[in-house]
Amino acid sequence: MLRVGRLCYARAFCLPGGAARVEFCMLMQILNVAAGFALAAQIGATKESPDPPQASLPKTDAQWKKLLTPEAYYVTRKKGTERPFSGKYWDNKKPGIYRCVCCGTPLFGSETKFESGTGWPSFYAPVKEANVRKELDRSLHMRRIEVECRNCGAHLGHVFSDGPPPTGLRYCMNSVALEFDPAKPAAGPVAKAEAKP
């Protein structure tokens, strides 16, 4: 029996072409691990975060459940993922700011949003690096970089290294973890003239 991590490939040898499939699976797992380490080094992900949530935020699951919708609670507090193309912001093209649904922290601006084809809202940079926290995520037998709200610890999504310039990053976020704050229209000449005494 051949083991790699938690995966067992014993049955693959019993099937035609099993050895080739085993080698392919092993190679893919090694590449996933290497890509995870490379991305973590590139964006500075940390295993643990020193920043505690603000004192005024809810602290218990019961408090978060009262504050959030069931889907928002599942995604932000239990590290879930919404289905692709199901969220309200994946195709939003309006100007504005995307805030954390849990605490209102500004996270992403519409000027950094791009069409990734994934079915989730994607951005190439946050409003401020200080507003997000990156953690190494080892779930699903992969190494990915999880993105959280630095203020309240809400799970937002993941960041990948296949984004557009200038950063080359793709912050793939869950719509349900965000609240969109549309940009206010600029005051035109008429409004400015009426404002004068």
Kindly write down the DSSP assignment for every residue of 34-98, as one continuous string.
HHHHHHHHHHT-BSS---PPPTTS--SHHHHHHHS-HHHHHHHHH---PPTT-SSSTT----EEE
85: left (phi over 0), alpha (psi -120 to 50) or beta: left
Instruction: Determine contact, residues 152/67, Cβ cutoff 8 Å.
Output: no
Quote the Cα angle for 130-135-140, to 5°. 150
Instruction: Write down the residue that tokens 């940009």 correspond to.
Output: 183
Predicted model pTM: 0.69
Three-class SS of residue 101?
Answer: coil
Distances (CA, A) of 12 to 19, 147, 185: 7, 35, 61
Angstrom distance (rounded) from CA 172 to CA 163: 10
Instruction: Determine contact, residues 152/113, Cβ cutoff 8 Å.
Output: no
Q: Which residues are catalytic?
A: 172
Q: What long-range pairs does 82-86 form, CB within 8 A, spacing at least 24?
A: 82/120, 82/174, 82/175, 82/176, 83/119, 84/118, 84/119, 84/120, 85/119, 86/119, 86/175
Q: What is the pLDDT along the chain (197 residues), one digit of tens a residue?
A: 333 333 333 333 344 454 444 454 444 455 554 555 555 555 554 444 444 445 467 778 899 999 999 999 999 999 999 999 999 999 999 999 999 999 999 999 999 999 999 999 999 999 999 999 999 988 888 899 999 999 999 999 999 999 999 999 999 999 999 999 999 876 655 544 444 44
The amino acid occupying position 15 is: L
